[in-house]
Chains A and B, each alone.
Chain A
Amino acid sequence: MLALMRTMLLIRSVEAAWADAYRAEEISGIPPSLSIGHEAIAAGACAALVDGDFVFTTHRGQAAQVARGLEPRRILADLYCRRSGYNKGKSYHVTDVSRGVIGMGGIVAAQVPVAGGMALAQKMRGTDRVSLAFFGDGASNEGAVHESANLAAMWTLPLILLCENNGYCITQRDSEAIKAPSIAGRAAAYGLPGVVVDGADPLAVRDAVAEAAARARSGAGASLIEARCERLTGHLVHDPQCYRSTEELDAAWRRCPILLYGQRLESMDLLDQEGLSRLRGEVDAEVAAAVGWARAQPFPALHEAYEDIWA
């Protein structure tokens, strides 16, 4: 249980470092898309997976990358556009095939059909491994998700559709984009099980994903999980969220997964405030060292722009 807290703190710290780098104009380009508020979903989901399973990320993919055990310093190297990053400076959707992370998210929902294909490969190759597609409430309205959910149901694919519903598609409230009371409710129409879980609770997410993974590994097929969370920062770092009231944002921060899980661990006598501070200090020091390392890495050489197009 403490490991989940450490993972969530590490995610938060990596995101803060990335945001700081952008604000300090150490990095340029498209502003960071932070997963602050989503930490419990990534930490809980990845705790239920094993080596050989694959996750396909959204454009807020850093949480899952950290939770799958990718090195923060190499993630940061990618975010700093350095050649020592996993993607060698060619995309900020960090991929590490060896740890089962395919970084996607440049096109909303496009990772979901691809995750279905990986699940098909896992099934056809006779493995008991599963694929998990993260996607947002915005993506849930894309045809790619509907087609993939139906295909996964028809072909009994070992696929977990994990919707991170943070309530906003950029500036649009989910209630203005989705008529139904839940996204998970759509599962019935696909012929899949669907559940809503508290996305601020890493244990609830872990248990739901573990159940879906067990179902997938047993050959029973796909599942849809809707994990509800709060997007605590803007769509991208430069977004001050003027479209949300102070009261709403205050309420959202009271649902901060790290705050809530910290209170829970404290109530169970597993981690007191001092222990939490110590853990946070360790994690922040690790990330500070990672930032130092990333900053010192070289940019890709110009000839690398012309490489990696063809296999």
Chain B
Amino acid sequence: MNEVRVETTMFDTRLFRPAGPVKPGERDWPSFRGAINLAMREEMRRDPFVFQMGEDIASASPFGVTSGLVSEFGRERIRDAPCAEVAIVGAAVGAAIGGMRPIVEFQFGDFMSVAIDQLTHQAAMLRYLTGGQVRVPMVIRLPCGGGQGAGAQHSQSLYSWFAHVPGIKVVLPSTSMDAKALMKAAIRDDNPVLFFEHKQLYRTRWPVSAAFHDPDHVGEFGRAIVRREGTAISVVATLTMVHHALAAAAALAEEGISVEVIDPLTLVPFDTATVVDSVRKTGRLLVVDEAYLNFGVQAEVIATVVERAFDSLEASPRRLGNPGVPVPFAAPLQDDVLPGQARIAAAIRDLVRA
């Protein structure tokens, strides 16, 4: 149990509490939440039709992602909204049809359940239903994920609900660099985009390339990143699990196991080619995500690979995730339910020996 607990403390476990001192070596690295903030700031400067709605985003941004924006853009463009998710998402849909580019913040992504009709039936379908007459360019930012003792209704990773239905792009950034580039792409996209932000990543800091500071550097959806190259197994991981997988891969390298780690970055569109090519090379596949395993994103990735590269597989693909329980409130239980470095390493060893 203690071993597992160490895994989830790899990131920030202190929900809402102020950041601790920045490590000297990370001082020049942008934080994950700062990267999203900068992307939104640049796009709001560039495009007067971009605006934001959400609860407390102007007065006291809950995770600090919108901090400082109201002083530059004012309360017309950084709109504190009443606690009314249906009206807010609907307002985003209507405003988008009316030529604006809304960004909506949900305090916890789990609350998307409250307004799911406005997303899946209105935002996602209206273009199709009108024979292509309308565009619905909008971004909904959804803080997600467990590991912070936030309880069952504030800790989920529900992207498979939305990747399942037509018309919604789904983005899962895992470092400051891709968070900024993909947020800019999301704002410029003419379709509804869900931007999932793992809460454990908000205060983490990451090294970036020079392009990070270029306001014209915009990410591309549907392009996975091979975070680490390897030959024995392909691990597809998302959000914080990317970093758990990389830590596991580094440890396994000392055992002589060469692990390739792929971060899809977007589920819709999904970079099938990069994953399939990797599996053709390694012959083995492990998919890791915090989401519930049942009918989940992990299964979809495996099915996609099996359909295309069955002959290359040297072992049955495996998946790790929440086995299908509400994310527990008590930290030891929570950490047992969610996957992490040790469980990833164990699964890799099993697969490579199979």
Contact = CB atoms under 8 A, between A and B. Distances in A.
Interface in A276-311: 307-311
Interface in A102-160: 102-104, 106-107, 110, 112-122, 124-125, 131, 143-144, 147-148, 150-151, 154-155
Interface in B107-129: 117-118, 121-122, 126-129
Given A110-B121, A151-B82, A117 B94 contact: yes
A154 B90 contact: no
A93 B128 contact: no
Contacts of B94: 113-121, 131
B129 A117 contact: no
Contacts of A106: 121, 129
Interface in B51-76: 51, 76
Contact of B90 (A85, A93, A144, A155): A144
Interface in B74-132: 76, 79, 81-82, 84-100, 102, 117-118, 121-122, 126-132
Contacts of B126: 102, 104
A147 B127 contact: no
Interface stretch (B133-141, B173-181, B326-334): B133-141
B298 interface: no
B131 A88 contact: yes
A147 B87 contact: yes
Interface string B177-197: 000000000000011000000
Contacts of A310: 127, 167, 190-191
A309 B134 contact: no
B323 interface: no
A86, A88, A124 pick with most chain B CB within 10 angstroms? A124
Contacts of B84: 147, 150-151
Contacts of B76: 124
Nearest to B90: A113
Contacts of A90: 128-131
Name which of A86, A89, A125, A308 has the most chain B CB atoms within 10 A of its CB: A308
Contacts of B131: 85-91, 95, 308
B87 A118 contact: no
A93 B86 contact: no
A112 B130 contact: no
A144 B87 contact: yes
B70 to A, nearest CB: 16
Given A90-B129, A97-B134, A102 B97 contact: yes
Question: Which of B76, B91, B94, B135 is the most central at the interface, judged by chain A CB atoms within 10 Å of its CB?
Answer: B94
Contacts of A119: 94
A125 B129 contact: no
B130 A113 contact: no
Contacts of B100: 120-121, 124-125
B128 A117 contact: no
A311 B100 CA distance: 15
B133 A113 contact: no
A285 B118 CA distance: 40
B87 A311 contact: no
B193 to A, nearest CB: 11
Contact of A97 (B79, B91, B133, B166): B133
Interface in A249-285: none
A124 B51 contact: yes
Given A86-B133, A311-B191, 12 more contacts: A91-B129, A103-B129, A106-B129, A113-B122, A114-B94, A121-B98, A121-B99, A121-B100, A124-B76, A148-B87, A154-B82, A308-B130
9 contacts: A86-B130, A88-B131, A118-B94, A121-B98, A125-B100, A143-B86, A151-B81, A309-B166, A310-B167
